[in-house]
Structure formats: C-alpha cells, structure tokens
Homo-oligomer: A and B are copies of this chain.
Amino acid sequence: MKASREVRLKKYAKGSVSADNFEIAQVDLPDLADGEVLVRNIWMSVDPATRIRMADMSGFDSPIPAFTVGAPLDGGAIGEVVKSRSPDFDTGDTVQSWLGWREAFVAPGAALQKINAPGIPVQSLLGPAGVTGLTAYAGLKTALPKAGETIFVSSAAGAVGSIVCQLAKAGGLIVIGSAGGAEKCAYLREIGVDHAIDYKAEPDMLAALRRVAPEGIDIYFDNVAGAQLEAAIAAGRDNARIILCGSVSTVNDEAPSPGPRNLILMIGKQMRMEGVTVFHHFHEMPEFLQELQRLVAAGKMTWRETVFEGIESAPEALAALFDGSALGKALVKLGA
C-alpha cells in the first residue's frame, strides 16, 4: 500500500472556481491485481474543459459528463511506472494516462499509453504536441484554409490559439490574433502574428478588426465566444468559416449567455460555423505530429508553458486559465 494525494470536487462550481470547490485528499493505493500498474505522475495537464465539467449540468443538456461531488477530477497526465503486473509495461516506462489530478494511481495497463517522442520534451505531449495541438490542427483543417486568406484567432496567446496562429502562418495565411494585455500581444508578434489586437484596450472589436483587415476576414477560430464571435460574424467575408473551439468568455457564467445577435448576417454571406472537438479527431494525430516535427525543425513553431508546482497548486492553476494569467500551456509538475 502506498499513499497518494488527489484533488476532488468538493462542490459544484458557479462563476469562477475558488479553493472552496476543491478538496485535496490523502488516499491509500491498493495492491496491484494482475494486469495492473502503479504509476507516479510527473506532469498533469490543466484544461478549460475541466472547469466545464465542474458545473452542475443536471437539466442542461451537455454531451460532456460532469464530475461527481466527492470523486477525484481527471485529465491528461504523464508519469513513470513504479511497479507493473502488466506484461505491457516495465518499471521506469514513461506513460500517458487520463488519470491526472492525483500524485499516483493504480490502473489496468489498458488505461495507459507508452510514450515515445524523441526530441520533444515529454510534457509537451500534454499540450502543443498532444491534445491541445491536435485541437488546433483539426480545427484549422476543418476551416479549409487557403494561402492568402485572412484568419482571426481569439485567445491567440493561449495554448490552442498560439498553435493555430503558427500553423496558419506556416500555411501562408495572414494572421490576426487577439489577446489581453501588451505582454501577450508582444508574444503574438514574436510568434509571427501579423496583427495583434489587445482586446482589453479595444472598446469595439469590430472596429479593431476593420482597422487591420478592411476587406474582412475569411476564417475566425473562436476560443472565447461572446463579443469577439459577434465581431467576427460582422467582419466575415462571403463564405467565411467560423470554428467554434472554446468559450472562455462564457464558461464561468452562471446563466447561459446570449449568443451573437447577428447570426442573420450568416445567411447573406453564406457563412459556415462549425464546432470542433478533439475527441472526434484522434485519428489525425500521426499526420499532426509529422507536421509539428517539420515546423519545429524549420524554426516555425515554438510554445510556452506556465508551470505550477505540486498537486496543491492544481486548483490555482485551473483558475489561472480564466483570469488570463497563464501564458501558453498550463501544467502542474507533480514529481521529477
């Protein structure tokens, strides 16, 4: 028997999450049954979807299951095999699982994936080289981008947004990115964004878009919904595409927020809006990793991480996603 700590949902979240929503509990791990593996987590991913699943969704028709009060949260993690009774894993193997938000765990071998990623820092598989990057890749691909087109990316300094910007740039698009504050906008320019818009300094997003793209935009990659989505619909050219990928601006709302007031404009402009969730795109992982390796080698793709230390910092790390303080991929380091 081995002791571990895990983060549990203490009460459903309304509005911003705070320490009250979480409980950090000590647990004793069971002995290994046949086929099981003991894993010590080294890194865990911090994702907006976790906040969505912390809400009480009864009565609200969501395709994503909510967490259970009293049970541990979960999410992507990378760890090291400490002990194995599975023929597929040996002590010392580096493995990826969906069992983050805990320091260690016992699970069947089938819940684990062995990692083999030469030349890429292991924690990147939780972000730019993993589900986050695949989200960016699959979303952008769904928009059918063409070289020379103009794309607007919101939350462009974020984990998904910054990858979208660099993929689009590499594809020959003109890239407009929005982010909050001068520091993030400077970062956008560093990664090659053509026009960085500080949405906190812009009272009128549509005016800002028109200033940098008087001819309008062809693609909007939406990570925030709200006012930026409405502005993008207004600035969309004929046959413009909108990829719905996240709703950072509304995810903390207690009541559902009103949607864009100008959907009617999509009719005359024959615009298309499409939701993309990475769960339907795992089969594109190999082609994405190939593209990523090519771009990294060519110096056309970089990323940043914000690292929190220790399981007790995980709640704070999640909150940081929504107050704009985490730059790039948010991670919690659980061990060395």
Contacts and interface: CB of A to CB of B under 8 A. Distances in A.
A85 B261 CA distance: 49
Interface in A245-303: 245-247, 250-251, 255-277, 280
A244 interface: yes
Interface in A140-186: none
B267 A275 contact: yes
B273 A274 contact: yes
Interface size band for A: 35 or more
B271 A261 contact: no
A258 B256 contact: no
Given A270-B274, A270-B275, A270-B276, A265 B225 contact: no
A37 interface: no
Nearest to A61: B234
Contact of A244 (B245, B266, B274, B280): B266
Contacts of A255: 261
B280 A275 contact: no
Contact of A225 (B61, B264, B269, B276): B264
Contacts of A229: 263
A121 interface: no
B245 A267 contact: yes
A62 interface: yes
A245 B263 CA distance: 11
A203 interface: no
Given A61-B234, A234-B61, A266 B258 contact: no
A277 B270 contact: yes
A1 interface: no
Chain copies in the assembled complex: 2
B265 A63 contact: yes
Contacts of A258: 258-259, 261
A225 B273 contact: no
A282 B68 CA distance: 53
A87 to B, nearest CB: 36
Contact of A261 (B234, B259, B272): B259
A336 interface: no
Given A256-B261, A260-B259, A261-B258, A277 B272 contact: no
A19 interface: no
Contacts of A271: 274-275
Nearest to A261: B256
A174 B63 CA distance: 23
A333 to B, nearest CB: 29
Nearest to A253: B261
Contacts of A250: 264
Interface in A34-75: 61-64
Nearest to A63: B268
Contacts of A268: 62-64, 275, 277
Listed residue (A259, A267, A269, A277) with the most chain B CB atoms within 10 angstroms of its CB: A267
A309 B275 CA distance: 47
Nearest to A274: B272
Interface of A: 61-64, 206, 225, 229, 234, 238, 244-247, 250-251, 255-277, 280
